[in-house]
């Protein structure tokens, strides 16, 4: 779960009081948004530039559920559309992801304190026939910067999850990218690079 504060939210917004807020919650696939949609009251579906949004209420909060579709480009477009059209106080990006930690398992929850791009590399030149060695790729310094979530909002979410789920719940770093890593050694290499 990645949590970022919308640029539209005024400085010093008191997020310890989570009532009467406009909250945009995102997921890439049907399986990531269907349950959330089922919890909305007064549901209205909108399609904006081919992206799907469902608006409704949970308690005193206006909730917008966004199906971003898969990939960072789709997530960027749908987030921009959501912010421009709904002016959320908070944006919560949640979904299914692979963990780069061997102690995490299906159902465990990671709340993103930080987020980084794990697909930005400088690749050394090689002549024809010299092959490719991804372990020689260097992380692009400008792209390796960490983005930080709102600390107060992370704490509110962590408290709510710990009170309402038996699943393991930790804070961590989320790596964003358009590559689906299934090689254990590569995953550990990425993990070591971005934990520094």
**Confidence at residue 47, expressed as pLDDT on a 0 to 100 scale:** 97
Q: State yes or no: pLDDT of 194 exceeds 60.
A: yes
**Confidence at residue 3, expressed as pLDDT on a 0 to 100 scale:** 47
pTM of the model: 0.75
Contacts of 83 (CB under 8 A, 6+ apart): 6, 7, 8, 24, 91
16 pLDDT tier (thresholds 50, 70, 90): low
**Confidence at residue 17, expressed as pLDDT on a 0 to 100 scale:** 61
Closest CA to 69 of 41, 27, 102: 27
- Between vectors from CA 120 to CA 90 and to CA 82, what angle results, nearest 5°? 25
Q: How far is CA 98 from CA 46, 76, 155, 174, in A?
A: 30, 20, 23, 10
Question: Which tens digit of pLDDT belongs to each residue from 30-81?
Answer: 999 999 999 999 999 999 999 999 999 999 999 999 999 998 899 999 999 9
DSSP character string of 49-94: TTEEEEEEEETTEEEEEEE--SSHHHHHHHHHHHHHHH--SEEEE-
Question: Which tens digit of pLDDT belongs to each residue from 97-150?
Answer: 776 777 888 788 899 998 888 888 888 899 999 999 888 888 876 655 788 999
- Between vectors from CA 175 to CA 124 and to CA 106, what angle results, nearest 5°? 130
């Amino acid at each position: 779960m990645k949590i970022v504060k919308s640029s539209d939210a005024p400085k010093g917004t008191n997020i310890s009081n989570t009532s009467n807020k406009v909250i945009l919650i995102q997921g890439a696939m049907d399986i990531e948004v269907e349950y959330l949609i089922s919890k909305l009251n007064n549901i209205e579906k909108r399609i904006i530039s081919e992206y799907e949004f469902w608006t409704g209420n949970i308690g005193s909060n206006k909730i917008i559920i966004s199906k971003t579709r898969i990939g960072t480009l789709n997530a960027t477009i749908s987030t921009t559309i959501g912010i421009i059209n709904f002016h959320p106080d908070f944006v919560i990006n949640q979904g299914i992801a692979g963990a780069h930690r061997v102690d995490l398992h299906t159902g465990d929850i990671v709340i993103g304190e930080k987020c980084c791009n794990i697909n930005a590399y400088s690749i050394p030149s090689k002549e024809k026939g010299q092959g490719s060695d991804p372990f020689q790729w260097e992380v692009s310094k400008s792209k390796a910067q960490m983005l930080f979530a709102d600390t107060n909002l992370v704490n509110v979410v962590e408290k709510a999850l710990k009170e309402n789920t038996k699943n393991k719940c930790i804070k961590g770093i989320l790596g964003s990218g358009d590559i689906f890593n299934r090689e254990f050694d590569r995953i550990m290499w990425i993990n070591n690079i971005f934990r520094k």
